[in-house]
Structure 1
């Protein structure tokens, strides 16, 4: 045994497992207990319990599910960040939709893995999280990159909002030009920019998307 290995064994990475399914908690506890270099300090069935146990046990890493009755993972992550908890949170869930991944990462999660990740990948992720390094499953990383690159992330200018508001009232390009004291060609240019930013192809879709996003009230 090398000195490095001995050091790792002597100071294991401590874990808190948070999941509302007992079978999942048992499986994760067994997996990490059987591997060298890890110690499971406790388990929680929801986010509220997790916050309380983190305060009491001070783990290095929290394996956090997201959708749990009695207290979700995102709220727990945000509360741990608010309290300045030392623990790093590694989300481990079955959900990889934007509505799950983005709030969790914005709340302060260090990493995000899916439950179908191979055990070696999970071990590596926990070690990385303990060191404060960001860990994302390939599927989640791809979604985040796609979201950043996708149309619709650039805000509309004040003039583009004015044009869109008039379009929503059913105003023609010619009448929009008259009302805003610009040429009809300029109106068309603004609309082209609006379509690109909203990721749509026509006036009706632009208005619908603008209402959906709250751009038009």
Structure 2
């Protein structure tokens, strides 16, 4: 049986102490390989394609191009790479800007190292990890629209998507099979006229559907 390869990680963080600390903690964990660590997106940009990361840990407050601006550039360059935001910022606007620009997860820097390491694996498996306080802020910002095109079950599933749950986690939590979750998510995307989780979250927020 073929062994699963290590998750390839790139860190973009301007604080040298934090950058070195994350590189050491993550790199010394079995199954994780920190390929490179950069002090800015501008420094990283020319190397990312060659680095071939599976997951990028990205700070928002960077010299030059900030993390929010860097996100769409990274997604164009590496469409299959997952970007996990790791920042001190908890402002609602920045969270939604990050998610709308393609971030797959959003953690604050107070997050314990163990949780960060778990989140890298989770995001690689299709989840959308968020710090508890971030998830709470995302959900509480939605005041439901009574004219929502979504059914009660679709709304429930979309709320779990916003919380960062993967499809398999949603199936388990709602006691339904994975195919049913896929079918509901497909219907949600059709009704909202979107093609991705980030767009679904953005549209739901703009139209107060959840």
What range is the shorter-chain TM-score in? 0.5 to 0.7
SS of residue paired to 2:47: helix
CA distance in 2, matches of 1:17, 1:28: 8
Distance (Å, rounded) in 2 between the aligned partners of 1:84 and 1:62: 10
Instruction: Please tell me whether residue 28 in structure 1 is matched to residue 48 in structure 2.
Output: no
Contact 1:44 1:53 in 2 (8 A): no
Structure 1 residues 16 and 84, CA gap change in structure 2 (3 angstroms) = closer
Shift of 1:7: 3.0
CA contact (8 A) 1:32 1:39 kept: yes
Query: 1:184-204: per-residue Cα shift (whole Å, max 9, x none)?
Result: xxxxxxxxxxxxxxxxxxxxx
Higher helix share: 1
| CA displacement at 1:84 relative to structure 2 | 4.7
Partner Cα separation in structure 1 for residue 68 and residue 82 of structure 2: 13
Structure 2: gaps spanning 5 or more residues: 149-210
CA distance in 1, matches of 2:123, 2:8: 12
Residues of 1 paired with 2:77 and 2:8: CA distance? 19
Matches within 5 A, 1:10-159: 11-149=5-143
User: Number of residue pairs matched?
Assistant: 146
Give the drift of 1:130: 1.4
Shift of 1:83: 3.3
Question: Hey, what's the Cα distance between the residues in 2 that align with 1:52 and 1:105?
Answer: 24
Task: Flag the 1:52–1:85 CA change in 2: closer, same or farther, 3 A.
Answer: farther
Q: Secondary structure at the match of 2:22?
A: helix
What value does the CA root-mean-square deviation take over the aligned residues? 2.1
- Counterpart CA distance in 2 for 1:51 and 1:100 is 22
Deviation at 1:52, TM superposition (A): 2.7
Contact 1:54/1:87 (8 A) holds in 2: no
Give CA deviations for 1:18-72 in whole Å, capped at 9, x if unaligned.
1011111100011012211100000111122333332121100000000111111
Which protein has the larger Cα radius of gyration, Structure 1 or Structure 2?
A: 1
Contact 1:88 1:110 (8 Å CA) reproduced: yes
**What is the rounded CA distance, in whole Å, between the counterparts of 1:87 and 1:27 in structure 2?**
22
C-alpha separation in 1, matches of 2:144 and 2:110: 27
Instruction: Please name the residue that 1:7 is paired with.
Output: 3
Aligned to 1:187: none
Give the TM-score taking structure 2 as reference length. 0.64
